[in-house]
Chains A and B, each alone.
Chain A
Amino acid sequence: MNSVRIYWVAFTTILIKEVRRFTRIWAQTLLPPAITMALYFVIFGNLIGSRIGEMGGFNYMQFIMPGLIMMSVITNSYSNVTSSFFSSKFQKSIEEMLVAPVPSWVILTGFVLGGVARGLLVGLIVTILALFFTELTVHNLFVTITVVFLTAVLFATGGFINALFARSFDDVSIIPTFILTPLTYLGGVFYSIQLLPEFWQKVSLFNPVLYMVNTFRFGILGVSDINQWTALAAICVFIVLLFSLALWLLERGRGLRQ
C-alpha cells in the first residue's frame, strides 16, 4: 500500500477520533468554557466594565472580548491534548498506534490538530456568546485567523509535551494551574500594559501570551500594545521549536517505550 495514503488515512483516523472524543463529552469540554466566558462578559464586561469606561479607545466589553476568546482557545487547545494523550497512555490505547505503521510525526500532527479543533470550536462558541453583549468588527481578517490558528497549534503542541512527561493525573494539571493560568491572566486579557508602571511593562514583554492576545486584539479592533508582525514571527519560531522537541521526544519513546 502507498505510504502517503497510509499516513493520510492514519492522520484522519486520529483527528476524527479526537474530535469524536471531545464532542462525545461536550458537557466537560464545550459547555464549561461557554459558561465561564459568559460570566466574564456579564461581570467584568457589563457590570464592572460600565464603571471602568474606555480602554484603548474602546468600551471595556469590546476591549476584553478578544482577550477572552484567545484565553479560551489557549486553555482548550492545551488541555484537550494533555487529557486525551495522557488518557491514551494511561489506558495503554496508545500502544495501538505504536504497533501500527504510523510515523511519529503523523501521531503528533493528529493529536495537535485535534487540540486545535477543540480550541477553535470553543473560540467560535465564545465569539457567538460575545455577540449577545457587544458588536463584532474585524479590523484585519488575515491577522485574526492566522494568530488564533497559530496560537492553538502552539499550545496544543505544548500540551502534547506535557502529556508525554506526565506520569499521573496530577502532572497533567500542574502546568495549566501554575504556569498557563497566571501567564494568561497577566497577558493583557483584561488590561492594556500601558496601565502598568514602566518596570512591569518591560517584565510583561517576556510573557508570550501577551503577544498572542494583543495580536488577536489588533486583528479585531486594530489596537495593540506590541507589533503584530513581530508577534506572528515569534509564534512561528516557538511552534517550530516545540514541535521539533515533541517529535524528538516521541521518536525516543519518552514515557511510551522502555
Chain B
Amino acid sequence: MKALSIQNLQKTYGNGFEALKGISLDVKEGDFFALLGPNGAGKSTTLGIVCSLIRKTSGKVSIFGVDIDEDFAKAKQLIGVVPQEFNFGVFEKVEDIVLTSAGYQGLTQKEARPRAEQLLRDLGLWDKRHAQARMLSGGMKRRLMIARALVHRPKLLILDEPTAGVDIELRRSMWSFMQEINRQGTTIILTTHYLEEAESLCRNIAIIDKGEIIKNTSMKSLLGELSSETFVLDLVQPLKETPQLAGFVTRLEDATTLEIEIQKGQSVSQVFALLLEHKIEVLSLRNKANRLEELFVSLVDKTAASGFKAEKITTEVSV
C-alpha cells in the first residue's frame, strides 16, 4: 500500500510564484524516504500541503488511500509532523505540550499519559517533564517535537529537518531512534540538509528543484550513478612529489595528504597494491565528500545550468 500518493500537485502562491509545477510522487508503506532539494525548491510546500498547512492549487494527495479532499480529518489522524521551526508554546511545560497534542488527536489524558511518559523517557526528556519548553536546549526542543508528533502513533511521520542545529552525538542517537520506529512499521519522510543523514537512513529518495522532481529512485541505484569518488589518504611518511599510480589520478595536497580519484569499476585494493609498490604507508583513509552530496550537487547544478541556458536564449531572441 502507498503511504503517500501525490499526483500532479501544483501550488502557485498569491504573489504568482509557482512553487510546485505538477509533481507526482509515491511513498511505499514502511519506507524511510528522503525528500531533498535546495532552499526554496518546494520541499516544505509539498509537506505543508500534505499536512494541511498550505492549500494546494490543484492535484491529488492521498494518505494510506484516504484522499485529503474527501476526508482530511481521517487523513490527518494518520500523520505526525515534526516541522522545521519550533512551534510549541514556549511557556508550556514539556509534558503538557505532549498531552495537549494528544488531546487534539482525540486522546484523553488517561490514554495519553502512559504514551507521553514512554516517549519522553525514550527521548531522554522525562527529567525535564515539568520544565517550561523555553528552558530546554535546542536538541531537547527538537526531541520534544518528535515526542509530540508520535504521541498519537501515526502511521506516517513527516520529519522536516529534524536534526538541524543538533550536535553530532545527539544526531546519531536521534537516527537510531528514527530507525527503530521505522522498524516498528512507521513510514518516515525526511527532509534534511545533512546528506550523510539521508544516505545513512533512507531507502528511497526524491530530489526536487524549482518545483519539479528531478530524481525519484532508490538510494542504492542513485549512488550507483556516481562515476567516480575521491579518497583522501593520510600518510605516515611525508612525500616530496606526487606518486604516479597507473590508472589513477593522484594529487598531493601537502606532504602527508594524498588525494586519489577512483573511477566506477576500479577497486580500492588496486590502489593499496600500487601504494605498497611505492612503499607508501597509509595511516587513514576517508571519502573526500559525502557520495550523495556529490550527486546532489551535480544534479542540482545541471538544472541550474539548463535554466541559465534557457534564460540566455530567451534574451537573445528578444533582442
Give the interface of A toward B (CB within 8 A): 1, 3, 5-7, 9-10, 12-14, 16-17, 20, 24, 87-88, 91-93, 95-103, 253, 257-258
Chain B residues near A1: list those with CB within 8 A: 77, 106
B55 touches A101 (CB 8 A): no
* B270 CB-CB contact with A under 8 Å: no
> What does DSSP make chain A's interface, helix, strand, loop or mixed?
helix
Report whether A99 and B77 are in contact in the complex, using a CB–CB cutoff of 8 Å. Answer: no
Bound-state CA distance A20–B92 (Å) is: 9
Cα–Cα, bound, A95→B72 (Å): 15
Partner of B90, one of A6, A91, A103: A91
Residues of B with C-beta under 8 A to A103: 73
- How many interface contacts (CB-CB < 8 Å) are there between A and B? 83
Interface hits, B73-125 → A, CB 8 Å: 73-74, 76-77, 79, 81, 83, 85-91, 96, 100-101, 103-108
Query: A residues within 8 A CB of B223?
Result: none
Chain A residues with CB under 8 Å of B105's CB are 6, 10, 100-101
- How many Å from the CB of B235 to the closest CB on chain A? 52
- Residues from chain A with a CB closer than 8 A to the CB of B91 are 24
> Is the pair A3, B52 in contact by a Cβ cutoff of 8 Å?
no
Cβ contacts under 8 Å, A92 to chain B? 83, 85-87
* C-alpha spacing A14/B101, complex, angstroms: 10
A91→B88 contact, CB < 8 A:
yes
Please tell me if the beta carbons of B54 and A258 are within 8 angstroms of each other in the complex.
yes
Interface residues of B (CB under 8 A from A): 13-14, 48, 51-55, 72-74, 76-77, 79, 81, 83, 85-91, 96, 100-101, 103-108, 148
Instruction: Given A12-B103, A96-B88, check contact A101 B108 (CB 8 Å).
Output: no
Q: Could you jot down 8 A-B contacts, CB within 8 Å?
A: A10-B103, A17-B96, A20-B96, A24-B91, A99-B79, A100-B105, A101-B74, A258-B55
Please name all residues of chain A whose beta carbon is closer than 8 Å to the beta carbon of B13 when the two chains form the complex: 258
Bound form: Cα–Cα A258–B44 in Å? 12
If A100-B76, A257-B53 touch, does A13 touch B83 (CB 8 Å cutoff)? no
A99 touching B103, Cβ below 8 Å? no
- Residues of B close to A3: CB separation below 8 A: 73
Query: What's the minimum C-beta distance from B18 to chain A, rounded to whole angstroms?
Result: 14
A128 CB, nearest partner CB in chain B, Å: 28
Which of A24, A102, A257 meets B104, CB within 8 Å?
A: A102
Chain B residues with CB below 8 A from A100, complex form: 76, 101, 104-105
- A107 (CB) vs chain B CBs: closest residue: B104
The distance from the CB of B270 to the nearest CB of chain A, in whole angstroms, is 53
CB-CB under 8 A from B89, the residues of chain A are 87-88, 91, 93
CB distance from A92 to the nearest CB of B (A): 4
Q: Is A13 a contact partner of B87 (Cβ separation < 8 A)?
A: no
- How far, in angstroms, from A9 to B108 measured CA to CA in the complex? 6
Query: Considering the chains assembled together, what is the distance between the CA atoms of A5 and B105 in angstroms?
Result: 10
Closest chain A CB from B308 CB (angstroms) = 29
A243–B54 CA distance with the chains assembled, in angstroms: 24
What 8 A-B pairs are tightest by C-beta distance, nearest first? A13-B103, A6-B106, A100-B104, A92-B87, A101-B73, A101-B76, A99-B51, A9-B106
CA distance A16 to B107 in the complex (A): 14
In the complex, which residues of chain A have a beta carbon less than 8 angstroms from the beta carbon of B14? Answer: 258
